[in-house]
Amino acid sequence: MLGNFFPILRFILALNFVFFFWFSKKLWKIFCAEVSTELNLLAENWKYLLGGLVFQYIHGLAARGVHYIHRPGPTLQDAGFFLLPELGKDKAYISETVFTSIFVLFVLWTFHPFILKSKKIYTVLVWCRVLAFLVASQFLRIITFYSTQLPGPNYHCREDSKLATLPPPHSAFEVLLINFPRGVLYGCGDLIFSSHMIFTLVFIRTYQKYGTKRWIKQLGWLLAVIQSLLIIASRKHYTVDIIVAWYTVNLVVFFVDKNLPEIPDRSSVGASLLPLSNKDKDSWNKEETHKLLNGNSVDPMERRQRNGMNGKIMDDGLAVQSESAINGV
C-alpha cells in the first residue's frame, strides 16, 4: 500500500515544484518590468520625494523644539474627555496599534504594482502626491502649535511627570538629533493639530481616490473615526486637536490635489506613463471643442486614453459598468 503511495507523493511534489518555479519566474518578470518603469519615474521626480522626506525631519525637529518651551499645567476642560472614559496608561498602546496598522497597510498597498499583474497606480507618483499632502498639512500644523502652547493632556506631559519639560540643550547637535524615536513618542506641546490624524486622513483620502475595493474604503473611514476616539480616550490630544485635523487635512488634500498633475489610470488602454499637466489638459479641451464645433465626434476611447479617467480609479463594480457603457453594451 505504501509502495503505491510514494510515487503519487513524488508526483505531487514535483508538480508543486514546477508550479512554484513557473509562478516565481512570472513574478520576477513583473517585478523587473515594474522596477524599470518606476526607476524612470524616480529619475524625473526624485527631487519632490527627497523634499518631502526632508520636510518629515523638519517637522520632527519643530515638534522637538516646541517641547523645550512646553509648560505643564492643569488639563483643560474638554468635551471629549467628559464623554469618553479614560483608557489609562496600560491601554495607551491601542491607538498606536490602530495607527501602525493603517500606516503599514497603506505602504504595502502603494507597492503592490511590483508583485501584482493587475495594477492601477504608479508607486513613485502616488508617493509624490502623498508627500505633497503631508508637507502642506504639517506646515500648517507647525505654525499652529507654535502660535499657542497648551498644557499637554498626555500622562508624560502633566505636572507630576519629569518628561513634561526638557532642560535647555547643551548644543545644537542635541536638538538636531531629536532623540528619535523616544523624542517623538514622548513629545509635549505639539498639540493642534494631531499628526497621527494627518497621516491617517491623507492615506485614506489617497486610497479613496486611487483604490479599487469599496469595502476597504469604507473600512478606512471607519478606522479613522475609531482612531480619533481612541486618541481622545487615551488623553494624547484634546478634542479640538482632532476636530481641526479632520477639516484642515481634508481641505488641504482637496485644494492641493486640484493643482497637482493627474496620475493616469494604468488599467485604461494606452494610458500615458506620465500624468497630464494643467497645460496639457487645457490643450486637450481646446482640441476637443474644436472637433465638436466642426461637427466631428470625439471618440470616447480616445478621451479615456488621454485623460486617464481624470486620475481617479473607480471601484471594481463601477469600472465594469463603465467599460460596458463605452463598448455600447
Q: DSSP string of 82-144?
A: HHSPP--GGGTHHHHHHHHHHHHHHHHHHTGGGT-SS----HHHHHHHHHHHHHHHHHHHHHH
Please enumerate in sequence order all residues whose Cβ is within 8 A of that of 219, keeping only pairs 6 or more positions apart, or say none. none
CB 188 within 8 A of CB 67: yes
Q: What is the C-alpha to C-alpha distance for residues 247 and 245, in angstroms, rounded to an integer? A: 6
d(CA 306, CA 302): 6
CA distance 164 to 71: 7
Contact 93, 14 (CB under 8 A): no
Euclidean distance between CA atoms 274 and 124, whole angstroms: 11
Q: Name the active-site residue from 156, 237, 290, 299.
A: 237
* Cα–Cα dist 294/107, whole Å: 48
Classify 238 in phi/psi space as left (phi over 0), alpha (psi -120 to 50) or beta: beta
Residue 80's nearest CA partner among 231, 202, 203 is 231
Q: Radius of gyration over alpha carbons of the chain, in Å?
A: 25
Asked if residue 98 lies in contact with residue 228, where contact means CB atoms within 8 angstroms, the answer is no
Active site residue 196: yes
Distance (Å, whole) CA 45 – CA 106 = 21
User: Which is catalytic among the residues 59, 67, 70, 196?
Assistant: 196
Residue type, 180: F
* Residue tagged active-site, from 241, 265, 280, 299: 241
CA distance 299 to 55: 44
Residue whose C-alpha is closest to residue 193's, from 149, 154, 237: 237
Residues annotated as catalytic are 196, 237, 241
